Amino acid sequence: MSKKPLVLPKNWVLYLISVPGLFYFIIFKYIPLMGSVIAFQNYNIFKGISGSPWAGLEHFRRMFAYDEFLTILRNTILIGLYDLVFAFPVPIILALLLNELRIVIFKRVVQTVVYMPHFLSWVIVGGILVGLLSPTTGFVNHVLGTFGIEPIYFLGDNEYIRSILVGAGVWKDSGWGTIIYLAAIAGINPDLYEAAVIDGAGRLRQTFSITIPSIMSTITILFLLHIGNFLDFGFERVFIFLNPLNSENGEIIDTYVFRAGLVDRQYSYTTAIGLFKSLVGFMLIAIGNTLSKKVNGDGLY
């Protein structure tokens, strides 16, 4: 009796290529989720998860009972909101402006200039900004001095720390964010623009009537992903600018978890905070996705 030949599934090469990625997510993303159980325990590193006593929702109650945590949560929400309002539209605007450049060499130079800050670490970015904002030798205070304004210690004042954090992110990552939007714009059918020109539409009209509606699905997806990371502003981005003079308005959940969890060794308490942050992010994605589907029919799932 002859054996049937082995029939491989369609696109089996793609499935094979995806296997290392699946293992990565299983090993480094999903298996560590089981450690979240210590949020409901009084975890002891010597007894381990199996030997540590259960604490129920004690750490979650403690989290919301502390005025310090509520202040830090407020800081995180405000900074995330500022980043959403002021930083998210910048890559879209940059992509639209770059798309209008007709001199190819100049366009490539501008793209390179706006992309470059992305490849700098936050430590380097922090050093550059500390130098620029220095009250004694900083370029910004030097310019202010020419107008008769007294030097300002920007990093030592709670008023400026949020603006500095959001502004630094805009400078560093906005150019890199334009790549996706430029790719979406490149996929627009040129016939649409030719028809608009015949109808007498100018460049501005073409942008608002063709370009933006055509990339709206891309904008929606990236907006939903941004909402999912609403409370995840980034540890390094804040930590390098943080000091006792600006921590009242500058400290966020990530830096607080570092201080309370690793420095003060409150492992269960900070795990509860991390679990709360992840739950909020999941809820924001679900709500945003539902609203997006109702408004324009596009969503993540």
DSSP 84: I
Tokens coding 119 = 């490849």
Residue among 23, 241, 212, 36 at smallest CA distance from 129: 241
Query: What CA–CA distance (Å, rounded) separates 174 from 217?
Result: 19
pLDDT of residue 265: 85
Question: How many other C-beta atoms lie within 10 A of the C-beta of residue 4?
Answer: 6
Angle at 237 between CA 231 and CA 242, to 5 degrees: 100
Q: Is 147 helix (H, G, I), strand (E, B) or coil?
A: coil
What pLDDT tens digit does each residue of the chain (301 aa) get? Answer: 555 665 667 777 888 888 999 999 999 888 888 888 999 989 888 888 888 899 888 988 888 888 888 889 899 999 989 998 999 999 999 999 998 888 889 888 988 899 899 999 999 999 999 999 988 888 998 998 888 888 888 988 888 999 999 999 999 999 888 989 999 998 888 888 889 888 888 888 888 889 999 998 889 888 888 887 888 888 888 999 998 888 888 899 989 888 888 888 888 998 998 888 888 888 888 888 888 777 777 666 6
Query: What CA–CA distance (Å, rounded) separates 38 from 275?
Result: 10
Q: Which residues pair with 165 in a beta bridge?
A: none
Query: What CA–CA distance (Å, rounded) separates 94 from 59?
Result: 44
HEC profile of 89-121 = HHHHHHHHHHHHCCCHHHHHHHHHHHHHHHHCC
pLDDT of residue 164: 92
pLDDT of residue 6: 59
With beta carbons less than 8 A apart as the criterion, state whether 125 and 168 touch: yes
Taking phi over 0 as left and psi of -120 to 50 as alpha, with beta for the rest, 11 belongs to: left
With beta carbons less than 8 A apart as the criterion, state whether 196 and 213 touch: no
Q: What are phi and psi of 161, to 5 degrees?
A: -65, -40
DSSP 3: P
With beta carbons less than 8 A apart as the criterion, state whether 258 and 274 touch: no
